[in-house]
Structure 1
Amino acid sequence: MRDIKMVLVLWGGWAASDSSGVDYSSIAAGFKGLITETCKSRPSCSDNDALIIEGCLARLKKKKPYEYSLLVAHYLYGISKRKIAKARKKDEKLIRIEIQMAEGFIDGCLSMLDVKLEMEY
């Protein structure tokens, strides 16, 4: 069974690195002022794994852009669920549920692709 949280943590490290080649806005939508300076030495996944995960994230963004923004805010920018809830003026429990649903989407997408990520070896 895949640990989707760890997969997304490693993807976030990859996407945050300068060498990823993927351009993410320096300010996540609706989270201005919450993003702190990120540490340069985050654990990350391989380029191959990251591109597979990026494909799943693109599908999520197309179907549910709000849930996509939650994953990007939490895993890429490292914003805590509590801060996200406060910024969105929602209950933290609801934000946790919405992030779990987005994680489930990514996990399901990876399962449907039937690929073994390099980080799983």
Structure 2
Amino acid sequence: MRDIKILLERWGGWAASGEYGLGYSSVAAGFRGLVGAHSMMRLNCSDHDGLILDSCISRLMKVNKEQHDILVAHYLYQISLRSIARRRRCADGTIRKQIQTAEGFVSGVLSALECELECELPEE
């Protein structure tokens, strides 16, 4: 079974390295001042996995931009869910439900693609 949170954390580390020209700004819209220094010791994934995950996340933006923005803010920019809730002036539980729905969507798209990610393969 996939651990979507770990996959998204790896995607966030991969996308944050900035080497791939994905079009994400250096600071999430509306979150200037909340984003701290980027940690150099983030988990990341291969380019192959990163591109697959990025395409799944892009599909989320077409369906629900708000959930996409929360997912990107949390996993790419490492903004806590509490900070996102405070910034949006809503309850923490609301943001948690939205990110769970977004994670479920990405997981569903990955399942529909029936692809194997390199970071999920057992190491030899």
For normalisation by structure 2, the TM-score amounts to 0.94
- The count of aligned residue pairs is 121
Using the alignment, how far apart are the partners of 1:39 and 1:27 within structure 2? Answer: 15
Cα distance, 1:23 vs. partner? 2.9
Percent identity over the alignment is 51
Q: Equivalent residue for 2:20? A: 20
> Which piece of structure 1 moves more, 61-70 or 34-43?
34-43
Task: Tell me the amino acid that sits aligned with residue 97 of structure 1.
Answer: K
Cα distance, 1:22 vs. partner? 2.1
Cα distance, 1:19 vs. partner? 2.2
Cα distance, 1:96 vs. partner? 0.4
Cα distance, 1:27 vs. partner? 1.9
Unaligned runs of 5+ in 1: none
Unaligned runs of 5+ in 2: none
**Bigger fraction of residues in helix:** 1
Task: Tell me the amino acid that sits aligned with residue 89 of structure 1.
Answer: R
Query: Equivalent residue of 2:97, what SS?
Result: helix
Cα distance, 1:99 vs. partner? 0.3
C-alpha root-mean-square deviation of aligned residues, in Å?
A: 0.9
Using the alignment, how far apart are the partners of 1:22 and 1:106 within structure 2? Answer: 18
Q: Which runs of 4+ in 1 moved over 3 A?
A: none
Q: Equivalent residue for 1:101? A: 101
Q: Deviations over 1:60-102 (max 9, x none)?
A: 0111111000010000000000100100001001100100000
**1:3-42 to 2 correspondences below 5 Å:** 3-42=3-42
Query: Equivalent residue of 2:90, what SS?
Result: coil
Using the alignment, how far apart are the partners of 1:81 and 1:11 within structure 2? Answer: 18
